[in-house]
């Protein structure tokens, strides 16, 4: 997929692109090796798919590698993920051992090619063990909400993390007491990706029809991996309550990710909960369903992201960018995207979500206004060009570790 920087000019303006070029010049030619745990599924893969080509176009030699792991490893790291989000999980000594063993295996398999090694999330964090031997600068980029981590998992990971040169978190709330510098970078969406670009009305209509949704009646949608922290059952509960007052259909669409072994189990729970209602549509999407997801969101009246915990929640910006009001759980990064009463509503329960849903479904003009605000909010804060600039600045800062001010010329 080729990305052309000039194409962003029409959306973000010439100055933003010029500024990117100026900063990029200072780190041009650096080899930036990204390493994560899945090539598809979930927000990290979504971001890297677009960020890496754009960095390359700016002259940074950015690459992307994925660690290997078996079912036991990904069950372990999913338990870590949930526990770091503060959810109750049993963490056993065997799990910690499994993490160490898979890390050792990947230390053998991985070719380290970066001047800067950019490790995403806990799954590959242990690769830091090779830093002393191969050198370079190492950054741990954490995409999850670490505001209340289970101490057992965090204490296990912390020594790995503190061996990095720097860390990056998505929100100030997620920052930790660490002996290394911490940078704050919020994630972003790509307005030109198939997931987000403008689509003709007929295409939206065709996708809505294809999935048996009635375009003449309101559609409430949540797009998410089938994951308990995304609270799909809470969305169904909210829909059922709202439907007593406002007619609507519910669409729960999502796929799995190779590093998320719980998906199929949660999907079954959702299918069971939805079984008696023909207005609830549960879609299991294959990877690369970007145009389909784009069309489904555009065909929706209201988008939900009723997460119980959330690192950022790209799906929120994806919906706001399409002018859709979002009802989101008042957690993690959703709180910086959904500005209560301006771009959507923040909720704490299925009942609260239902109340907001009834209000929105009754008032198309309110939906339009919140959606318009939402698009502007995303344009100003959560587009890929801002994200690329932040990463370039972190790269630059890494080369000036003792300086609080770096001059660009
Ligand atoms: N997504 C997708 N297919 C799906 C479900 C989700 O492409 O079946 C995308 C979604 O549009 C978003 C990303 O995966 O771009 C999910 O990122 P988010 O930050 O919302 O949540 P995560 O899955 O990383 O917890």
Q: Give a yes or no: residue 196 inside a domain.
A: no
Mean pLDDT of 151-172: 97
Lowest mean pLDDT among 42-46, 67-71, 162-166, 291-295: 42-46
Q: Which residues have any ligand 1 atom within 6 Å of their CB?
A: 42-43, 46, 195, 223-225, 254-255, 285, 289, 293, 312-315, 318
Instruction: For residues 377 and 138, give the distance between their C-alpha atoms in angstroms, rounded to a whole number.
Output: 32
Q: Give a yes or no: residue 403 inside a domain.
A: no
CATH number at residue 27: 3.40.50.2000
The pLDDT confidence band at residue 401, using thresholds 50, 70 and 90, is: confident
Atom of ligand 1 nearest to the CA of 312: 19
Whether 216 and 184 map to the same domain: the answer is no
Q: What is the 3-state secondary structure (H, E, C) of the chain?
A: CCCCHHHHHHHHCHHHHHHHHHHHHCCCCCEEEEEECCCCCCHHHHHHHHHHHHHHHCCCEEEEEECCCCHHHHHHHHHHHHHHCCCCCCCCHHHHHHHHHHHHHHHHHCCCCCCEEEEECCCCHHHHHHHHHHCCEEEEECCCCCCCCCHHHHHHHHHHHHCCCEEEECCHHHCCCCCCCEEECCCCECCCCCCCCCCCHHHHHHHHHHCCCCCCCCEEEEECCCCHHHCHHHHHHHHHHHHCCCCCEEEEEECCECCECCHHHHHHHHHHHHCCCCCEEEEECCCCCHHHHHHHHHCCCEEEECCCCCCCCHHHHHHHHCCCCEEEECCCCHHHHCCECCCEEEECCHHHHHHHHHHHHCCHHHHHHHHHHHHHHHHHHCEHHHHHHHHHHHHHHHCCCCCCCCCCC
Mean pLDDT of 72-81: 96
**Res 129 pLDDT > 90:** yes
pLDDT value of position 67:
98
pLDDT value of position 227:
94
Instruction: For residues 285 and 336, give the distance between their C-alpha atoms in angstroms, rounded to a whole number.
Output: 28
pLDDT value of position 258:
81
**Res 409 pLDDT > 80:** no
Whether 171 and 300 map to the same domain: the answer is no
Whether 278 and 164 map to the same domain: the answer is no
Mean pLDDT of 47-52: 95
Q: Give a yes or no: residue 73 inside a domain.
A: yes
Q: How far is the CA of 380 from the centre of ligand 1 (A)?
A: 21
Whether 106 and 227 map to the same domain: the answer is no
Encode pLDDT of 250-286 as tens digits: 999 998 788 888 899 999 999 999 999 999 999 999 9
Atom of ligand 1 nearest to the CA of 44: 24
Encode pLDDT of 22-43 as tens digits: 999 999 999 999 999 999 988 9
pLDDT value of position 1:
54
Whether 376 and 387 map to the same domain: the answer is no
Please, what is the average pLDDT of the chain?
Answer: 96
The pLDDT confidence band at residue 305, using thresholds 50, 70 and 90, is: very high
Whether 78 and 98 map to the same domain: the answer is yes
User: What percent of the chain has a predicted confidence (pLDDT) above 90?
Assistant: 94
pLDDT value of position 402:
82
Mean pLDDT of 349-358: 98
**Res 3 pLDDT > 80:** no
List the domain range (segments joined by +) for residue 212. 201-381
Q: How far is the CA of 407 from the centre of ligand 1 (A)?
A: 37
Instruction: For residues 394 and 167, give the distance between their C-alpha atoms in angstroms, rounded to a whole number.
Output: 10
The pLDDT confidence band at residue 154, using thresholds 50, 70 and 90, is: very high
Q: Give a yes or no: residue 354 inside a domain.
A: yes
Atom of ligand 1 nearest to the CA of 290: 7
Whether 108 and 154 map to the same domain: the answer is yes
Q: Give a yes or no: residue 169 inside a domain.
A: yes
The pLDDT confidence band at residue 220, using thresholds 50, 70 and 90, is: very high
Whether 363 and 389 map to the same domain: the answer is no
Whether 370 and 391 map to the same domain: the answer is no
pLDDT value of position 288:
86
Encode pLDDT of 313-324 as tens digits: 999 999 999 999
Q: Give a yes or no: residue 270 inside a domain.
A: yes
Whether 227 and 372 map to the same domain: the answer is yes
Q: Give a yes or no: residue 14 inside a domain.
A: yes
Q: What is the reported pTM?
A: 0.95
Whether 274 and 354 map to the same domain: the answer is yes
pLDDT value of position 403:
83
pLDDT value of position 42:
87
Whether 87 and 127 map to the same domain: the answer is yes
Residues with Cβ within 8 Å of 267's Cβ and at least 6 positions away in sequence, in order, are 226, 254, 282, 284
| C-alpha to C-alpha distances, 256 to 215, 266, 336, nearest whole angstrom | 27, 10, 26
- Number of domains present in the structure of the chain: 2
Q: Give a yes or no: residue 312 inside a domain.
A: yes
pLDDT value of position 44:
96
Nearest CA to ligand 1 atom 9: 42
pLDDT value of position 2:
66
């Amino acid at each position: 997929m080729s990305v052309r920087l000039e194409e962003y000019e029409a959306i973000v303006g010439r100055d933003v692109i010029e500024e990117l070029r100026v900063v990029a010049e200072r780190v041009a030619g650096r080899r930036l090796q990204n390493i994560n745990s899945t090539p598809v599924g979930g927000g990290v893969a979504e971001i890297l798919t677009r960020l890496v080509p754009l960095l390359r176009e700016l002259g940074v030699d950015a690459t992307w590698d994925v660690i290997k792991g078996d079912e036991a490893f990904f069950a372990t790291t999913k338990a870590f993920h949930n526990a770091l989000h503060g959810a109750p999980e049993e963490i056993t000594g065997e799990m910690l051992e499994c993490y160490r063993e898979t890390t050792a295996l990947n230390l053998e398999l991985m070719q380290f090619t970066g001047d800067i090694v950019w490790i995403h999330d806990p799954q590959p964090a242990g690769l830091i063990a090779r830093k002393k031997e191969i050198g370079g600068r190492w950054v741990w980029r954490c995409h999850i909400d670490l505001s209340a981590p289970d101490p057992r998992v965090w204490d296990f990971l912390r020594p790995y993390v503190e061996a990095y040169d720097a860390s990056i978190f998505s929100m100030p709330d997620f920052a930790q007491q660490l002996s290394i510098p911490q940078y704050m970078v919020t994630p972003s969406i790509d307005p030109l990706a198939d997931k987000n670009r403008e689509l003709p009305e007929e295409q939206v209509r065709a996708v809505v029809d294809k999935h048996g949704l009635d375009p003449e009646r309101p559609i409430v949608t949540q797009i998410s991996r089938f994951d308990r922290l995304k609270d799909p059952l809470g969305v169904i509960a909210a829909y059922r309550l709202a439907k007593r007052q406002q007619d609507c259909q519910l669409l729960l669409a999502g796929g799995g990710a190779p590093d998320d072994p719980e998906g199929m189990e949660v999907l079954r729970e959702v299918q069971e909960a939805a079984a008696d209602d023909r207005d609830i549509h549960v879609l299991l999407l294959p990877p690369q369903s970007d145009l389909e997801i784009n069309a489904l969101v555009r065909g929706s009246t209201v988008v939900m992201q009723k997460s119980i915990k959330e690192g950022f929640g790209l799906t929120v910006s994806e919906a706001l960018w399409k002018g859709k009001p979002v009802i989101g759980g008042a957690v993690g990064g959703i709180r910086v995207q959904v500005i209560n009463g301006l771009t959507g509503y923040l909720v704490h329960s299925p009942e609260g979500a239902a109340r907001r849903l009834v209000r929105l479904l009754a008032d198309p003009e309110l939906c339009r206004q919140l959606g318009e605000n939402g698009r502007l909010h995303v344009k100003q804060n959560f587009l890929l060009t801002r994200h690329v600039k932040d990463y370039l600045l972190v790269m630059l800062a890494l080369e000036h570790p003792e300086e609080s001010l770096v001059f660009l010329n």
